[in-house]
Amino acid sequence: MKYLFPQVGNLPVDNLAKNAEAYLRDAKITGLIEKQLQSGQSAVWLFAGGVPSMAYMLENGLSRSILQTEFSSVPEDSIRSVRAIKLPDVAGRLATLALESKLQNNTKVTDVAAWKEQVGKWGREQWSGLVEIKSEAIYGLALFWKGELKESDSFFSTPLGPITVFPVFENLNDFPWDVLAYNLPSSEQTYQYAALRHGAMNWMNRILNRYQELVGRKLLQTMDRELNLQVKPWLWKIVFEEVKVVDSHFFVHLQDAEQAYRALLMSMGSQMNIVIGNILTQRILNETFEQTYPDERAILQSLRLVPAAFSE
């Protein structure tokens, strides 16, 4: 049965069953509430920045989504224990993916070399999916996208505290690992959100790179600064630094992510229009858009996040 991030301690709240929800909402934090039932099932409710997200019922390693009211109405006498933890947004996103995905295979990894071999295989296959890693003392979720391990989508809970950098995690040497690979169901919104996020980030990174080539570092930094200022009032955890943009935000709905990316791409387009003109801006947007992966492009197009929308 899935038991997400067991090393993370409970929220500092009395009577978790009653008060955890209010605590997460009021403090506007990301986390989850987990009710272990006498029947062996468990109900999990995720929160993103205090906003209630999906709820799931877990049984025999399988999960199905349930209504929030269903989660709240679990009779108290059927609850064995309650856990409520605070998580970074990245972990929240990964938890949703873990609960939505289908198990592909389960392997034992005995050392770093075997792990690296497995990572190499996924890389060659350009595999996209979620990996859950469990051992005596550590637990982690990491997203592979087009065969590449995404550090911006990795989170590990360890006795030393949370870790997001893979080499550090590997060096903990807590083998053997139980490695579960999950396929991402392309029809699910969670997958579409991941594809949209990676597509938008991939596109934006390429735009920033090309823009820097044309106008230099100083103007790029000006654009970064403006975009970071734009992000602030919305409390989006998206950071622009030089030619890299990192999105660590957990958007509950696909539309919320779409709106955020649209606003940022519009600002990028508008700044570029002023500096390098609309024809060249359009050219850069087109060129870089074509460099994204076909499925990323498809979701961007389906949401009308296309070059023509961001240049005057």
Partner 1 sequence: MSGMNNLDMSKLQLSPRKILWISYIVALFLLGFLAWEYFVELRTQTTSYWSNKLVTYIILIPAIAAAITGTMLTRQFEKGESPYRIWLTFTLGLWFWVAGEISGLNLDFFPAAAFSSDINLVDVFWLLGYFFLGLSLYYQILLVYGIQKKLGIPMYLGMVALALLIALVLTTLTIRAGRGEGNSWALLFVTILYPVLDVMEGATAIWLSVLFGRGQWSRPWWGLILFAITDGIDALYRSGGYDFIPVWFQNALNLTSLVAYPASYMVAGITLFANYCILQYGVESGLLKPAKRS
Answer for which of 215, 239, 246, 306 binds partner 1 (CB under 8 A) is: 215
Q: Are 134 and 37 in contact (CB under 8 A)?
A: no
Answer for which of 104, 118, 158, 230 binds partner 1 (CB under 8 A) is: 230
The answer to whether 308 contacts partner 1 (rule: CB under 8 A) is no
Q: How far is the CB of 197 from partner 1 (least distance, A)?
A: 20
- Segment lying near partner 1 (by CB under 8 A), choices 9-17, 58-66, 148-156, 206-214: 206-214
DSSP state of 136: S
Q: Which of 139, 168, 169, 164 is nearest to 153 (CA)?
A: 164
The answer to whether 172 contacts partner 1 (rule: CB under 8 A) is no
Distance CA 301, CA 42 (A): 38
Segment (H or E) for 23: helix 16-26
Minimum CB distance to partner 1 smaller for 93 or for 210: 210
Q: How far is the CB of 244 from partner 1 (least distance, A)?
A: 17
Q: How far is the CB of 261 from partner 1 (least distance, A)?
A: 14
Q: Which of 165, 160, 91 is nearest to 132 (CA)?
A: 91
Answer for which of 179, 227, 303, 305 binds partner 1 (CB under 8 A) is: 227
User: Maximum Cα–Cα distance for the chain, whole Å?
Assistant: 66
Where in 262-291 is the site for partner 1 (CB under 8 A)?
Answer: 263, 266-267, 270-271, 273-281, 283, 287
Segment (H or E) for 72: helix 68-72
Distance CA 42, CA 2 (A): 9
Q: How far is the CB of 219 from partner 1 (least distance, A)?
A: 6
Minimum CB distance to partner 1 smaller for 157 or for 281: 281
Minimum CB distance to partner 1 smaller for 134 or for 283: 283
Distance CA 184, CA 97 (A): 8
Written as one string, the DSSP assignment of 203-217 is HHHHHHHHHHHHH-H
Q: How far is the CB of 275 from partner 1 (least distance, A)?
A: 5
Q: How far is the CB of 270 from partner 1 (least distance, A)?
A: 6
Answer for which of 222, 255, 291, 301 binds partner 1 (CB under 8 A) is: 222
The answer to whether 205 contacts partner 1 (rule: CB under 8 A) is no
Q: Which of 62, 54, 55, 58 is nearest to 40 (CA)?
A: 58
Q: How far is the CB of 8 from partner 1 (least distance, A)?
A: 34
Extract the tokens encoding 309: 């929308």
State in Å, rounded, how far the first CA of the chain is from the last one: 52
Neighbours of 292 (CB within 10 A): 20
Residues in contact with partner 1 by CB under 8 A are 210, 213-219, 221-222, 225-227, 229-230, 232-234, 263, 266-267, 270-271, 273-281, 283, 287
